[in-house]
C-alpha cells in the first residue's frame, strides 16, 4: 500500500469473507530460536502505515526473538530492482503491491516463501503466493475536503475529479500509472468491467485535461499531508491513509464509488543475507491478533480471516472489504500490470516531463 519514511540503515479475486480458516492439520512453523545479534531490515511505505507495522509486527517479533528490526523505505520498484541486480540487497523483508509481485516473479526478484517457517494456513488461500504472503487489503479512493463542498454537492465519482468547472482548484493523483490510468479512463466514461486492456492513449489524453491543476504525490504520507494541509480539495488516496488523516483531525471524507481494490504482499528480496529470520518476521505478520491490531490502527483489512473478529466495529465503514464498499469497487488487474508495468512506467515518466 501505497510510500513515506526515508530512514537509511547501515545495511539495507478480493477479501470479502470474515470466516476463520481451520488450522486443523496445518504444519506449525519451526520452533522459535534465539535471533539475538541478528538484524532484519524491513522496508515499507513509511508514515502512519509503517509506524503501525512496527508497533504490531516488528516490535513483538524483536521482543520474542531478540532480533533487531531496522525500518527503511519508502518502498520503490526501481530501487528494489537495482539492489537485486547488485547482488547485495539492503532489505530482508519488503511490503510490495500485488502488481509488483506479479511483475517481479518472472524476473526472479524474490525468495520462495519457506513454509517450514511461515504458517501459510492462517492466510486466506487467495493471498498465499509461492513468493509472497498477502498482508493487507486496501483500496484507491476519491477523497475530498468535507468543508470545501456543501451537502449534496460533494464529488462522488472519478469524473468529478476531472471536472474543473464544478470542482475548481488543486487536486491530487499518484505519481504512478498504476491505478491512475484506470481512474482517467473511468472519468472518461469507461465502465470498470471494460477497462482492460487499458486504452493508454485515451487515458493520457484525459490526464492532459487536469495535468496543470494536479499535484502528483510520490509517497502515501505525502498524499495524506496534502489533505491535512488543505493544499488540495479532492483527489486519489488510499483508504487507510484517509482514515488516519480523519483520526488525526482532518476534515476528509471518502467516496467508495468505483474504488480500486488491491492487496499488499510481504516478500523476501532475492539474496537476503538473513533469509530465515526474514521468513520468521513474515510469520509474525500473519498472526490474527497482530493483523487485527494493525487494522484498528490504520483501517487496512487483514488477510487472516480470524483477525476480523477483533476489529473495532467503528473501523468497518473505512475498510475496502466491508460488503457495501466492496460491491462498489473492483479488483485491480495485476496480470495486466505484470505484463505492462515497465513499459507504462517509462511512458508515464516521459509524459510527466513533457
How confident is the model over 199-227, as a mean pLDDT?
A: 96
List all residues 6 or more positions away from 343 whose beta carbon is below 8 Å from its beta carbon: none
Does 278 lie in the same domain as 228?
no
Does 156 lie in the same domain as 122?
no
Q: What are the residues facing 43 on neighbouring strands? A: 72, 94
pLDDT per residue as tens digits for the range 75-123:
999 999 999 999 989 999 999 999 999 999 999 999 999 999 999 999 9
Does 218 lie in the same domain as 334?
yes
pLDDT per residue as tens digits for the range 242-255:
999 998 888 999 99
List all residues 6 or more positions away from 81 whose beta carbon is below 8 Å from its beta carbon: 104, 107, 109
Does residue 15 sit within a domain?
no
H or E stretch at 273: none
Three-state DSSP state, 49: helix
Other Cβ atoms less than 10 A from the Cβ of 153: the count is 11
Does 169 lie in the same domain as 110?
no
Does residue 334 sit within a domain?
yes
Does residue 215 sit within a domain?
yes
Band the pLDDT of 33: cuts 50, 70, 90: low
- Residue 348 lies in domain: 139-261+329-353
CATH number at residue 274: 3.40.190.10
Does residue 237 sit within a domain?
yes
Q: Three cell numbers at 245?
A: 488523516
Residue of 341, 300, 298, 350 whose CA lies nearest to 179: 341
Structural domains in the chain (count): 2
Find the distance separating the first CA and the last CA of the chain, reported in whole Å: 28
Band the pLDDT of 199: cuts 50, 70, 90: very high
List all residues 6 or more positions away from 147 whose beta carbon is below 8 Å from its beta carbon: 251
Does residue 34 sit within a domain?
no
Residue of 226, 244, 251 whose CA lies nearest to 236: 226
What secondary structure does DSSP assign to 57-93, as a single string? IIHHHHHHH--EEEEE----HHHHHHHHHHT--S-SE
Does 183 lie in the same domain as 72?
no
pLDDT per residue as tens digits for the range 130-184:
999 999 999 999 999 988 888 889 999 999 999 999 999 999 999 999 999 999 9
Question: What pLDDT does residue 21 have?
Answer: 34
Question: What pLDDT does residue 146 have?
Answer: 86
Q: What are the residues facing 129 on neighbouring strands? A: 132
Does 340 lie in the same domain as 225?
yes
Question: What pLDDT does residue 248 have?
Answer: 86
Does 72 lie in the same domain as 160?
no
Does 163 lie in the same domain as 287?
no
Distance CA 97, CA 263 (A): 6
Residue listed under C-alpha cell 517479533? 61
Phi-psi region of 329 (alpha: psi -120 to 50; beta: other; left: phi over 0): beta
Amino acid at each position: 500500500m501505497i510510500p513515506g519514511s526515508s530512514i537509511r540503515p547501515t545495511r539495507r479475486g478480493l477479501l470479502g469473507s470474515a470466516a476463520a480458516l481451520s488450522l486443523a492439520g496445518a504444519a506449525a512453523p519451526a520452533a522459535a530460536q534465539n535471533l539475538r545479534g541478528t538484524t532484519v531490515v524491513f522496508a515499507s511505505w513509511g508514515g502512519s502505515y509503517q509506524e503501525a507495522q512496527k508497533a504490531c509486527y516488528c516490535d513483538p517479533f524483536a521482543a520474542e526473538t531478540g532480533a533487531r528490526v531496522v525500518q527503511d523505505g519508502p518502498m520503490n520498484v526501481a530501487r528494489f530492482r537495482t539492489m537485486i541486480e547488485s547482488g547485495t540487497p539492503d532489505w530482508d523483508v519488503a511490503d510490495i503491491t500485488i502488481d509488483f509481485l506479479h511483475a517481479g516473479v518472472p524476473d526472479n526478484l524474490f525468495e520462495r516463501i519457506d513454509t517450514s517457517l511461515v504458517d501459510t494456513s492462517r492466510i486466506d488461500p487467495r493471498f498465499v503466493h509461492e513468493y509472497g504472503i498477502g498482508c493487507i487489503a486496501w483500496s484507491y479512493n476519491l477523497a475530498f475536503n468535507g468543508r470545501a463542498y456543501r451537502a449534496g454537492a460533494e464529488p462522488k465519482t472519478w469524473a468529478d475529479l476531472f471536472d474543473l468547472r464544478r470542482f475548481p482548484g488543486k487536486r491530487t493523483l499518484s505519481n504512478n500509472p498504476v491505478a491512475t490510468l484506470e481512474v482517467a479512463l473511468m472519468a472518461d466514461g469507461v465502465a470498470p468491467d471494460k477497462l482492460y486492456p487499458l486504452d493508454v492513449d485515451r487515458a493520457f489524453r484525459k490526464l492532459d485535461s487536469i495535468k496543470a491543476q494536479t499535484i502528483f504525490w510520490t509517497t502515501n504520507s505525502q498524499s495524506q499531508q496534502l489533505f491535512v494541509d488543505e493544499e488540495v480539495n479532492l483527489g486519489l488516496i488510499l483508504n487507510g491513509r484517509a482514515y488516519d488523516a480523519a483520526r488525526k483531525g482532518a476534515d476528509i471524507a471518502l467516496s467508495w464509488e468505483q474504488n480500486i481494490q488491491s492487496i499488499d504482499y510481504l516478500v523476501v528480496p532475492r539474496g537476503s543475507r538473513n533469509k530465515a529470520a526474514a521468513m520468521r518476521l513474515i510469520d509474525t505478520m500473519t498472526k490474527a491478533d497482530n493483523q487485527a491490531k494493525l487494522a484498528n490502527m490504520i483501517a487496512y483489512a487483514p488477510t487472516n480471516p480470524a483477525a476480523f473478529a477483533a476489529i473495532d466495529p467503528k473501523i468497518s465503514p473505512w475498510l475496502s472489504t466491508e460488503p457495501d464498499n466492496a460491491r462498489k469497487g473492483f479488483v485491480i488487474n495485476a496480470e495486466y500490470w505484470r505484463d505492462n508495468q515497465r513499459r507504462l512506467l517509462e511512458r508515464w515518466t516521459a509524459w510527466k516531463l513533457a
